[in-house]
A = this chain, B = another copy of it.
Amino acid sequence: MNTSILSSHSRLPALIDRLKQKGHRITPQRVAILQALMDNPGHPTVEQVYDAVRLRFPMTSLATVYKTLAMMKAEQEVVELGFGGTSRFDAARPYAHAHLICGRCGTIADLDEAGVPEIPTSLGAEHGFKVIHGRVDYHGLCPDCQAQNPADL
């Protein structure tokens, strides 16, 4: 179990309050979706969120998951990360992390606390762009794929 001081236990109620104050209703489905997002330390696909949600609320539909994620994205509570075909979602976590993405097998590994530049809030001042979330990806080849096709490298 994740024992991070930033686990969902401390962040979920605050998130619910923020959504309520913006006029969104808090349904059991949404609570389950929010929990699934905050409990997942990775970058789950919509399908993975859906599966996690159904453990609590089996009657939740995929469409509702999509709609709720869209709402949260609009409220900037979540960041949509496109990795190739499928979208993945990342609850706007306060700590930065980089991704190691294998171009051959598609594996996405996390690289916490390394190689990630601090988010330059100065960007806002210079370009008028308000930065919510910084993302760093390293595309390349994972060890397995390097070993499998040495001739191609």
Q: Could you tell me which A residues sit within 8 Å of B by CB distance?
A: 22, 73-76, 79-85, 87, 100, 102-104, 109, 111, 115-117, 119-120, 123, 127-143, 146, 152-153
Contacts and interface: CB of A to CB of B under 8 A. Distances in A.
A101 to B, nearest CB: 9
Contacts of A116: 117
Given A135-B136, A141-B132, A87 B87 contact: no
Contacts of A129: 100, 102, 109, 138, 140-143
Contact of A139 (B75, B85, B87, B133): B133
Nearest to A145: B130
For the complex of A and B, the 7 pairs showing the least CB-CB separation, nearest first, are: A82-B82, A128-B143, A132-B140, A133-B139, A131-B140, A135-B137, A130-B141
A115 B125 CA distance: 14
Contacts of A135: 135-139
Among A81, A82, A111, A136, chain B packs the most CB atoms within 10 A around the CB of: A82
A136 B117 contact: yes
